[in-house]
Amino acid sequence: QVQLVESGGGVVQPGKSLRLSCVVSGFSFSHYAMQWVRQAPGKGLEWVALVSSNGDEKYYADSVKGRFSVSRDNSENTLVLQMDSLRPEDTAVYYCARRNSDYFDYWGQGTQVTVTS
Amino acid sequence: DSVLTQSPATLSLSPGERATLFCRASQSVGGYLAWYQQKPGQSPRLLIYDASIRATGTPARFRGSGSGTDFTLTISSLEPEDFAIYYCQHRSNWPLFTFGPGTRVDLK
């Protein structure tokens, strides 16, 4: 069955970096664009970043542009989100999700990122 | 970019009742709208896409409708497992994506 498993979350100080990973199984990873979506405590969903199926195209929400970088390794079925210059407002649960057409049909369980001094 | 608003913010109902949730876009999104369900401590789950098509595994009591700027998610008869938060979502300005703020359906 389809599985997406995130890891790499934790507690970090403002200005520091964190690298999230999402390992997928159960489908042809290289055929799908993938994204990151986050959810701040008690808040709604915010789309963060997208990477195309071959990794050539990358797009970011304005709130993270220039600080976050999305990438993928299709040989390892792994999606990565490199987060630099973290801010307290980046505190959230980060989900990886598979893009299917214009929607997100499979989601991981999420990984918590907390930015605090 | 099209902004999504959802109403009501909270809907308090009893099992067996009908739930009607609304999602409005600030500009036409055609028929490209999805609905997601999120239960506490869980990741979101795709329920409806292209405004009215049920995703795999979505029960028939969930019905999506609408086009352009006004969309509705109807749950014909609430089951205990349906009490959750529901988000609408649109591809606002390709390839960017927008979510609505959500409607909480809770137990009356």
- B24-52 pLDDT, tens per residue? 999 988 899 999 999 999 999 999 999 99
CA distance B94 to B8: 28
Collect all residues of chain A within an 8 Å Cβ-Cβ radius of residue B46.
Answer: 103-105
Interface of B with A (CB under 8 A): 32, 34, 36, 38, 42-46, 49-50, 55, 87, 89-91, 95-102
CA distance B59 to A44: 24
User: For residue B41, what are the contacts with CB-CB under 8 A and spacing of at least 6?
Assistant: none
pLDDT at A102 over 90: no
How large a percentage of chain A has pLDDT more than 70? 100
In the predicted model, residues of chain B with pLDDT beneath 70 are 1, 92-95
User: How many CB atoms are located within 10 Å of the residue A87 CB?
Assistant: 13
- DSSP letters, chain A, are --EEEEE--EEE-TT--EEEEEEEESS-GGGS-EEEEEE-TT--EEEEEEE-TTS--EEE-TTTTTTEEEEEETTTTEEEEEE-S--GGG-EEEEEEEEETTEEEEE---EEEEE--
CA distance B59 to B57: 6
**DSSP helix/strand/coil, A20:** strand
Identify the pLDDT of residue A97.
97
Locate the chain B residue with the closest alpha carbon to A52. B95
Answer whether A47 sits within 8 Å of B102, measured CB to CB: no
Identify the pLDDT of residue B92.
67
Task: Please give the average per-residue pLDDT across A54-78, as a whole number.
Answer: 96
CA distance B50 to B66: 10
Q: Which residue has the tokens 């609304």?
A: B22
Identify the pLDDT of residue B96.
79
pLDDT at A99 over 70: yes
Identify the pLDDT of residue A76.
97
Identify the pLDDT of residue B97.
86
Q: Is A29 on the interface with B (CB under 8 A)?
A: no
Lowest mean pLDDT among A33-42, A70-79, A94-103, B90-99: B90-99
List, for residues A6-36, the tens digit of each pLDDT value.
Answer: 999 999 999 999 999 999 999 999 999 999 9
Q: Quote the distance between the C-alpha of residue B90 and its chain's center.
A: 11
CA distance B37 to A33: 22
Q: Which of A46, A57, A103 sits opposite B49 (nearest CB)?
A: A103
Locate the chain A residue with the closest alpha carbon to B29. A102
How large a percentage of chain A has pLDDT more than 90? 98
Task: Please give the average per-residue pLDDT across A67-94, as a whole number.
Answer: 98
